[in-house]
Amino acid sequence: MVLKAVLFDFNGVIINDEAVHEQLIEQLLIEENLRLGPGEFSRVCLGRSDRACLSELLNSRGRVVTEPYLMDLMVRKARAYQRHLETLEKLPLYPGLADLMFNLRAAQLKLAVVSGALQAEIELVLQKSQLAPYFSAIVAGDEITASKPEPDGYLLAVERLNQQYPELDLQPSECLAIEDTPAGIQAAKRAGMSVVGVANTYPFHMMQRQANWAVDYLSDLELDRVQELYAQPNLSQATSL
């Protein structure tokens, strides 16, 4: 088996903005005369789409969540997120991302983003960081109703890469996902992919227990070693890189 593609989560892997999303969700709830409980964002929202996060938060408070109501909340949050990014002189991208991207491109691997974030949010960050040309596909939360840990987003990314590169004949087992949450790791594994868990959001030991490989930082990901390990028949054993 050969590694052909690397699929990135977005929030918590490419950009360090989980705290911003928590603030925006909290503000949305306040505008709806509701409150975010202690630890509730981490428990309900981390690794999941805005759709899934907001739906669960509102349902648990007895709100009737219609599609127009939910879309209005998602659009309001997306606009607030974009306004926040516009105030920043420098995006809070994770250290080591630029070097990793260089190594992946040098290895001629196809790249995609699979995230519960909205398309507009992902595109804005990739454009501002000048990373957009390197990603062949984006699967975003406003087109996938089934949030992670469901595998739908990852399977759609494989489909889209195959549409662009038919000669690739890409299989899920030939993809590597980079994730930072248990929900994301489960989604990629359910899609039949191996996963690197990066300890940006949860402790290293949690990533090590659930992912195929675990790293403290993106810069710790040794691509040559991953490619060598990919050729081995059993990828189920988690380890550090």
What are 136-155's pLDDT values in tens digits? Answer: 999 998 888 889 999 999 99
Alpha-carbon distances of 67 from 49, 74, 139, rounded to whole Å: 15, 10, 20
* Intra-chain end-to-end CA distance of the chain, in Å: 19
Q: What band does 235 get if pLDDT is binned at 50, 70 and 90?
A: low
d(CA 184, CA 178): 9
The CATH number of 18-86 is: 1.10.150
Reply yes or no on whether the pLDDT at 238 is more than 80.
no
3-state secondary structure of 35: coil
Q: E-assigned strands of 94-168?
A: 110-114, 137-139
Alpha-carbon distances of 228 from 2, 83, 143, 179, 224, rounded to whole Å: 9, 43, 35, 20, 6
pLDDT at residue 37, as a whole number: 94
Reply yes or no on whether the pLDDT at 215 is more than 80.
yes
Please, where in the chain does CATH 3.40.50.1000 lie?
Answer: 5-16+93-240
Is residue 230 within 8 Å of residue 196, measured between CB atoms? no
What are 29-80's pLDDT values in tens digits? Answer: 999 999 999 999 999 999 999 999 999 999 999 999 999 999 999 999 999 9
pTM for the model: 0.91
pLDDT at residue 196, as a whole number: 97
**Which of the residue ranges 23-37, 115-129, 204-218, 227-241 would you say has the lowest mean pLDDT?**
227-241
d(CA 194, CA 4): 12
CA angle 152–200–183, rounded 5-degree value: 25
Please, where in the chain does CATH 1.10.150 lie?
Answer: 18-86
CATH of the domain spanning 5-16+93-240, picked from 3.90.550.10, 3.40.50.1820, 3.40.50.1000, 3.30.160.70: 3.40.50.1000
CA atoms within a 13 Å half-sphere pointing along the CA-CB vector of 191: 30
Q: What's phi and psi for 92, nearest 5 deg?
A: -80, 65
